[in-house]
Chain A
Amino acid sequence: MNAIMDKPILGGTAAAKQPLVIIRDLNVAFVTRDRTVHAVNGVDLDVGAGEVLCILGESGSGKSVTMRALMRLLPRFARVSGRIEVAGQDVMAMDERGLQRFRGGDVAMIFQEPMLALDPVFTVGRQIAEAVQRHEGASRSAGMARALELLELVQIPSAKRRLDAYPHELSGGLRQRAMIAVALACKPKLLLADEPTTALDATVQIQVLLLLRQLQEQMGMGVIFVTHDLGVAGEIADKVAVMYAGRVVEEGPVGALMAGPLHPYPRGLLGATVHGNMRGQKLTTIPGAPPSLETLPTACAFAPRCAEAEPACQTTLPEARRPVPGRMARCLKVAAG
């Protein structure tokens, strides 16, 4: 058994009481001289300790911006408002020093492109050891010892040899594992994953998904996993939040949501996803394209593409409705609970 595993951060049972992440009314607008883009428009999200939340959405839906806001990684011209709390700390109020401790210590992030996330001029071992030395004040040799443990933890074969490998010497799947090892170096309470398996081949993607699920369970981490792939969400999520035009339009437990979405947008997405034996059938599509976010939508942003839209949908911004405990949808056609 790996030494890191012996001290779980949180027991599984304490999870539900106090959410690890609380996001309330998060708004992000990118303001430049030419135009303003309202990327995130009033997002509320909770993630419990040891819970996996998948944010599902298409390009431009605001899913990655939400993640970057959580890490305070947005550029200066982004106007951010709202409340973000992680493990009881107010992220919006942190100063540069606090952020340095927070990033990599409490929260770590993995990306789609490990080649861009890893530093090409340092060996994998040095990059992991650096994080440990920096956050925990460990010595160089202790850092390297920990790096070896971590490479074993992420199941990199012949880990000892790979410590001295540069990122370009590893295959795509191993590089992704190495990036996960860097992220886990300081036992984060929350792992943010931005499409980490999208660029991988099918047989490697499933390996990395299974690894992430196993590590998340062992370490009791909370995970926010951004993806556009329903199948990936089905493999890893406890809870799914579907985003459209900067808002969460539906949220619920993964099984219930995939079996019967309440909102017409995820229902359309599910219908448009090719699977099993659909040969010869015409795929149901969602007509049109997502709206431009240069003006903040004041009504339901999906109404122009929605087959079930009524006149009221074009004028009213649907509030969150909760017909069943644990499920939420922003649609006028869903019964208010």
Chain B
Amino acid sequence: MTLSHSPAEDRGGPAQPLLLLKDLKKHFPIKGGLFGKTVATVRAVDGVSFAVQKGETLGIVGESGCGKSTTARLLMQLISLDAGEMVFDGEGVGEKTAGGLALKDYRRQVQMVFQDSYASLNPRLPIEDSLAFAPKVHGVSDAEARTRARELLAAVGLAPGIYARRYPHELSGGQRQRVNIARALALQPRLVLLDEPVSALDKSVEAQVLNLLVELKERFGLTYVFISHDLNVVQYLSDRVLVMYLGQVVEQGPVDAIYDRPAHPYTRALLASRPSMDPAKRRTEAPLTGDPPNPINPPSGCRFRTRCPFAELVCETQAPAAAQLGGGHEAACHMARPGSGHSQAARVAA
């Protein structure tokens, strides 16, 4: 693929994380009453910190209401941060930071693919025009943007001669998601944020799109943040995995550590909730009871304690800090921290 508009170059070197998030917070007020007073607050994202290394795929898993989509929107700066800091390849993001990376430049390097392939495309534009739109905004000439749009269609496996002039409604769900992926690549970003990109697709099409994502990552040297509720897909695609619960990170680490040696009881329950794929080994007991609590007024201390079979007094009174388990594996659980005051702390650590 020959593209004149060169991608932004690497600044900080391979050891510098591509994206560093520190203590992100986003609270949504709920207004009510006669004068629209704030009656409650949804703590959608409450102190989330993580790093995305260059060239890796970071998987984010969690159930509805855990804040994974809010994190994605914060990451794209589609909504503003209440508190926290974002550093992209060594530069602070946002106009407020002195000498930082302007939002327009940041967004050129970070692009997103959404779950709903239809809602995220303009129904009145042929897909070629949708793909050419963003490059034109960023100063590429019309002819060049079109040429690039056709190259991108070919790259995602849609013959430009057949598909370039079609409208979104003339495509199947899988084809539309390919167009969305192509559009995300149109600005030659370094980081692509994939928010449940295959959840709405049928299984046979899902596999096609997953193969495409792996291929494109290699071809264009991309870094992915992959958000999904499907643990199997996350395991397949990710190098590192982040588990979220009620607006906080409960565990993160290399994919094998998370799947083979999960340290947080929530991660263990989540993994044990997967259907077994073997009718001879059916689940006999649900690992957890009840639904995730409402992120308005989350439980004190550890937010998982209301559903945790190991909860003790310390879990109620103190929020657990992240315990380092080696190799970048960390879990926010009192049981993983020797001396935390939990009766099982020593056993797990040993």
Contact = CB atoms under 8 A, between A and B. Distances in A.
A228 B202 contact: yes
Given A171-B291, A234-B276, A235-B282, A272 B203 contact: yes
B285 A210 contact: yes
A276 to B, nearest CB: 8
Given A279-B255, A285-B207, A203 B273 contact: yes
CB-CB nearest 7 A-B residue pairs: A231-B275, A272-B207, A201-B63, A58-B202, A286-B204, A171-B291, A283-B207
Interface size class of A (residues with CB under 8 A): 35 or more
Interface in A33-70: 58-59
Contact of A234 (B210, B214, B275): B275
A272 B206 contact: yes
Interface string B249-288: 0000001000000000000011001111111101111111
Given A231-B277, A232-B275, A235-B275, A206 B208 contact: no
Contacts of A278: 236
A258 interface: yes
B235 A289 contact: no
B64 interface: yes
Contacts of A210: 283-286
A97 interface: no
Given A201-B291, A230-B203, 19 more contacts: A58-B204, A59-B202, A201-B292, A202-B231, A207-B286, A232-B275, A234-B275, A234-B278, A234-B282, A235-B279, A269-B203, A272-B206, A273-B232, A273-B277, A274-B207, A276-B232, A283-B211, A287-B208, A289-B172
Given A203-B270, A274-B210, A258 B279 contact: yes
Contacts of A287: 208
Contacts of A282: 211, 214
Interface string B283-303: 111111111100000000000
A206 B206 contact: no
A274 B64 CA distance: 21
B57 to A, nearest CB: 10
Contacts of B174: 289
B275 A206 contact: yes
A279 B259 CA distance: 12
Contacts, number: 121
Contacts of B235: 274, 276-277, 279
Interface of A: 58-59, 157, 171-174, 201-207, 209-210, 228-232, 234-235, 237, 254-255, 258, 268-269, 271-279, 282-287, 289
Contacts of B287: 203, 206
B208 A285 contact: yes
B21 interface: no
Contacts of A234: 275-279, 282
Contact of A230 (B211, B231, B233, B277): B277
B40 interface: no
Contacts of A275: 232, 277
Contacts of B282: 234-235
A206 B283 contact: yes
Nearest to A273: B203
Nearest to B234: A274
5 contacts: A201-B291, A209-B283, A271-B207, A274-B210, A276-B232
A157 B231 CA distance: 28
Interface string B219-242: 000000000011111011000000
Contacts of B211: 282-283, 285
